[in-house]
Each structure stands twice: as structure tokens, then as C-alpha cells.
A and B are shown apart, each in its own frame.
Chain A
Amino acid sequence: MQQFLTTALTGLTLGMVYAAFALALVLIWRSTRIVNFAQAPMAMITTYVALVVIDAGYSYWIGFAVALVAGLVLGAVVERVVVRPVEGKSEINAVILTLGLFIVIHALAAVIFGSRYRSFPAPFGLRGFQVGDLNLAITGFGIFTIVAVLVVMALLVALFRLTDLGLMMRASAFNAEVARLLGVKVGRMLTLGWALAALVGSLAGLLIAGGSLVHPSYMDSVVVYGFVAAVLGGLDSPAGAVVGGLLLGVSLSFVSGYVGSELVALAALVILMLVLLLRPGGLFSHAAERRV
């Protein structure tokens, strides 16, 4: 019982982070039809930025905020400078380009920050709560993780549903040509979309790093899990990405707890292949088809 509860709660926390990362991938996919594999090293390098700020003596929260802003700027720069020329062209070139970026940011981080493992602080306790004689595996930082992701999601929903800016972004993603004819500055909307996605990615990076170790490849497997989560949800739907992330987090946590942590990536691969072969449109494709 104890192990079951621990595994489920760990999975829920991890699932929230995967959901955030998947959401970042989905935001970019919806607007530019590119899967940004460089999201992982982008989140990694902004986490390093936070670490530098914190090591310089500032509080965790300043580092946290600086990392999020760094993510926002990095996303915008990447879209403007690197991705713009291949938008709407061959999908293979776009994928290769994001992988080139992957390698470059990776190497840059190792040159600037070194490749050794460094510990990253957490603002809340890392010990589980005690309820009776049952030790709940949910930690203070775990609760913070869940709340932070929920808040960001709520803000995104508010942005897309309630503001003119969100409406323009949705229009650009839905049909760039028509949006342009109606006076929407589609280029700017795409840049903003990438910036927001990179911010959400940075958040995921910070949450995974909290109370744990960072090194240049600590996010590499997360991009795979984020992608699997996004595909579970259909790659096109933000809500699907969140549900996919939670499902994946809990399933992988059970694989890790009951089978072996080495096979987590393999389990993710199996899940991905099953989804792609049985329901290529994602778990919720049926509902999506009906809505259209």
C-alpha cells in the first residue's frame, strides 16, 4: 500500500512536469507545425541561468523569475533567427534544424558551465508528509510543482480564451493566410507563441531540477517523455497534452517502481508505438473529430 501510494503520488508530480513540457511542444506544433526537439536543451540552459543567479547570492525566486524570462527571450530569438527560414518548408529540414540547435546548446552549456553534476536548490521541503503511520510521498516541492503547472495552464487558457491577443494567436495558428488578410501580424504571433512555449518549457526544466542534480543532458529524456505525452493527447490539443502528461507520468512511475527504473524509457517507447499504431490521432481523436 505504502509503495503503491508513493508510486502514484510521484507519478502525479512527474506527470505534471511532463504535461507542462508536452504543452510547450504542442504550443509550437499548433502554430508552426514543428516539433521543437531543442526544447530540452533550451530548458536546460535557462535552468543553468537560474543556478548562476542563485549561486551569486540572490534568492531562489529571483533565479526562478530570471530563468522564466530567459526562456521567453530565448524562445523568441530562436524563432526569429533560426526557425523562421524553414517555416512551412520541408518538415525534415525543420526537424534537423532543431536537432542542430539541440547539439549546439548542449555543447555551449558544457563549455560555459562544465559537464559535471551540480545540485539545484528547492524552495520547499523535500520530505513527504506524515499522515498517521502512512508516509505520503508528496513533498512540499511536489505540491509547488503541481500548483505552478496548474497556474501556468490557467494563465494560458485565460490568454487564449479571454484576450484579443490570444484570439489573434489562435487565428494565426488556425489559418495564417486568412489571419494575415484580416490584419493579424502573423509573424509576431508566431514569435510570441515560441516565446510562451519556451517559458513553459523553462518552467518544466526548473521543476525537474528542483532539489535534484543538473548537468547538460538532464533534460534529454524529458523531451522524449514530453513528446510521448503530447502524442498521447494528439499533438494538437493543449488539454490532451496535459491529460497525456499525467497518464504518462503515472504509468512510467509504476514501471519505475515495480519493474525497474532502467526500463522507463523503453516503456515510454512502447506506449508511443502503441498509440501511433492504434490511435495515430491521439487518445482523444474521436472527440476531436466530432467537434470539427
Chain B
Amino acid sequence: MPALPARLSRVSESTLLRHLVLALAGMVVIVLVLESTSAFRNGQLTAMAYLGIAAGGLTVLTGLNGQLSLGHGAFMAIGAYTTALFLQDTEPALPVVGVLVVATLVTLLVGAVVGVAAARLHGPYLAGATLALAVAVPGIAVYFTDTLGGEQGLNVLLPEIPDWFADAVFFLTANDMTTTRYVAYIGWIALVLTFVLLANLSRSRVGRTWRAVRDDEVAAEIAGINLARARVLAFVVSTACAGLAGGVMALAVRITAPSGFMLTLSLTLLTAVVLGGLGSLLGALIGAALLTFLPQVATGFGADLGLSDVQSAELAPLAYGLVMMLVILLAPAGIVGSVRGWWARRGTSA
């Protein structure tokens, strides 16, 4: 039997094991945090989870593959509307997990169609096309008022919390399950699963292919990489994440309306990704946390300055828009990338 340090080093050498251990540790932290905070904070944390899932998908697309999408809000809308359509009755056809899987798959299919077209575009063309997508999709929901609820949107009826889940959590924490907390658990479990998958994917052959395509198209092609296939795959994976995020969002917000999926949402996601650092999953999570918790701080700050509620609500986008510009101008690697760079320099100079 090998000694403990040897076994630990074997764990840190295997990518999958390392990510699973991290995920497990993350789950423990999540249970502790969710059980010890109020229902309001639980709700905020759910928002952080779905923004994190979507930002995680976007950071893989933009950071690893170099494709920019301003249309991820539209893909979230597709996931959210699919979820809402399944959860119209008190007796839904599928359990919640099944609904989320279907929402992810539906978005994935749409993402594949868009991705095939997007693979041929680059830089500003891709940005413009996905921008058009973000502006176009809410209109579809308004046009098909009968099925998609028009401007009012669709209500989402959350099914009963499964007994086994409530029992299991009660057994672990001795807390009764509330609906808000239940959705928060769904969101965070979805986030952990997504991030483990994305982290493994980025460390695998596929991830290396994506990076190669990003860094040098010609060299990648000479090395035998099918550029279009790599791009479409990255786009599809990324949109699937957005679809899942939209599904969780529908569960959390309980209503799916076009006004929730305006251009602002897509730009917000991009902000999260840039703030954290392009290509870093941890950065996407930090960005999502900033987007979730900064508005409250900013609104409080605005109220102190004597601004009206509506005006103070705009201080948050003002702040992260400014920070996003500063990040691009001063520290293009984002928060995580800059800290890593600083860490690496410190290591070499010491």
C-alpha cells in the first residue's frame, strides 16, 4: 500500500480524479453555504449558478476557441422556454432533471444549426451575426403569443420536491427543504456537473484542438485538425451550457418572458467572462458572482448618493461596463489570468 503523499500525488496527476475531488469539495461548500443562508441569499446564489453555467460555456467558446458570441442570451431563452413549456401542468410529463436534459438537448440542436453557419465567420462578422440573433429571438416569443405567451411570458409551475431528496438533505443537515433552496440545489448541482465536464473537455484532446484552432488556424489545419468541426463542436458545447442555464433560470425566476432575454443578458454574460478572464472556468464563476452581488452594492451606493431607484439600478451595469473596458485596456487576461501571471512571475523571480 503506497504512502499517503504518493497516493495524493497520483490523484493530482489524474485530471479526472483531480476534478472530481474538487467537485466533491465544492459540493460540500455549497451544501454548507446554502443551508446556512437565508431564502433571499439562496435565490441570489441560484442566479449566480445559472449565470455561472452560461458564462462557463461562453468562456470555453471565447477563451479556448476564440469565437465570440453575443447571442448566448438567445440560447438561454431557448432553454428557458423549453423548460417552461414542459412545466405548464402540476403533473409534468418529465421529472425536473429530465426537463433540464431536454432543454439542454433542444438548445444544443439549435446551437448546432447556428454553429455550422458561425464556423465560417470570424471576429466582427461572428459578433454581428450573434448580436442579430440576440435581438431577433425575443421577437419570436411575441409573435407566437398562443404557444409562447407573448410579452406576458409563460409561468413555470415547479413540481413537488421529491421526497427522497428532501429526506436526504434533512438527514444530512436537519433542515427542512424549501422550494427556493431546492432550486438552488438544482442550479449548483448542474453547475458542478457542467464545470467538471468542461474542465475535462478543456484538458483533453478536444480542448487542445480548440486552442490550436484559436492560436493559429493554418498550423492547426496542417496538423490535421478539421477547423470547421472543431469550431462547430465548441459552439455546440457552449450553447448546450447556455440552454441548461436557461432551464435553471426558468425554474428560479418561475416566469419566462421575452423581457428577460434582451440584448442586455447576452452582454452581461460576456462581461462575466471578460471580468473573470477569458478561458478560465474559475474566472467565469467569479464573474457570475460579481454580476449577482455587485448590483445590490451599487444600488445601495446610488441610494446613498441620493439617486432614484431606477437610476441606482443602472450604476451596476455602469460599473461593470467600465471595468470590462479597463480589463481589456489594462489587463486583457482578466482577474484570474492576471493573478496567475503575477503568481508565475513571483515564482520565477524568487
* Chain A residues within 8 Å of B, Cβ to Cβ: 29, 34-35, 37, 82, 85-86, 91-97, 99-104, 106-108, 110-111, 114-115, 217, 220-221, 223-224, 227-228, 231, 260, 262-266, 268-269, 272-273, 276-277, 280
The answer to whether B64 has its CB under 8 Å from any CB of chain A is no
Are B140 and A266 in contact, CB atoms less than 8 angstroms apart?
Answer: yes
- Chain B contact-residue range equals 35 or more
What is the CA–CA distance of A217 and B320 in the complex, to the nearest angstrom? 18
What is the CA–CA distance of A220 and B139 in the complex, to the nearest angstrom? 14
Are B131 and A96 in contact, CB atoms less than 8 angstroms apart?
Answer: no
Q: Which of B266-297 contact A (CB under 8 A)?
A: 267, 270-271, 274
Minimum Cβ distance to chain B for residue A228 (Å) = 7
Contact A106-B140, Cβ < 8 Å, known A96-B324, A268-B132? no
Stretch of B91-99, B232-240, B325-333 with 4 or more beta carbons under 8 angstroms from chain A:
B325-333
Q: Which residue of A lies closest to B258 (CB)?
A: A262
Are A269 and B132 in contact, CB atoms less than 8 angstroms apart?
Answer: yes
Are A277 and B120 in contact, CB atoms less than 8 angstroms apart?
Answer: yes
Minimum Cβ distance to chain A for residue B343 (Å) = 23
Are A100 and B131 in contact, CB atoms less than 8 angstroms apart?
Answer: no
The answer to whether B310 has its CB under 8 Å from any CB of chain A is yes
Contact A111-B307, Cβ < 8 Å, known A97-B325, A97-B329, A99-B70? yes
What is the CA–CA distance of A218 and B137 in the complex, to the nearest angstrom? 17
Are A276 and B125 in contact, CB atoms less than 8 angstroms apart?
Answer: yes
The answer to whether B347 has its CB under 8 Å from any CB of chain A is no
What is the CA–CA distance of A34 and B139 in the complex, to the nearest angstrom? 28
Q: Which of B8-49 contact A (CB under 8 A)?
A: none
The answer to whether B170 has its CB under 8 Å from any CB of chain A is no
Contact A272-B132, Cβ < 8 Å, known A91-B123, A95-B127, A103-B324? yes
Contacts of A220 on B, CB cut-off 8 Å? Answer: 135, 263
Can you name 5 extra interface pairs (CB under 8 A) apart from A37-B128, A103-B320? Answer: A35-B128, A95-B68, A111-B314, A220-B263, A269-B132
Please name the 8 residue pairs, one residue from A and one from B, whose CB atoms are nearest each other, closest first: A103-B321, A107-B318, A100-B325, A91-B123, A104-B321, A35-B124, A265-B136, A100-B324
Contacts of A221 on B, CB cut-off 8 Å? Answer: 135
Contacts of A111 on B, CB cut-off 8 Å? Answer: 307, 311, 314-315, 318
Are B120 and A276 in contact, CB atoms less than 8 angstroms apart?
Answer: yes
0 or 1 for each of B93-124: is its CB under 8 Å from A? (1 = yes) = 00000000000000000000000010011111
The answer to whether B202 has its CB under 8 Å from any CB of chain A is no
Minimum Cβ distance to chain A for residue B248 (Å) = 24
Are A273 and B129 in contact, CB atoms less than 8 angstroms apart?
Answer: yes
Q: Which residue of B lies closest to A95 (CB)?
A: B127
Are B314 and A35 in contact, CB atoms less than 8 angstroms apart?
Answer: no
Pick from B123, B133, B332: contact of A95, CB under 8 Å:
B123
Minimum Cβ distance to chain A for residue B137 (Å) = 8
A to B CB contacts below 8 Å, 24 in the list: A37-B131, A86-B328, A100-B274, A100-B324, A100-B325, A103-B267, A103-B317, A103-B321, A107-B314, A107-B315, A107-B317, A110-B311, A114-B308, A224-B131, A227-B128, A227-B132, A262-B140, A263-B139, A266-B139, A269-B135, A276-B117, A276-B120, A276-B125, A277-B117
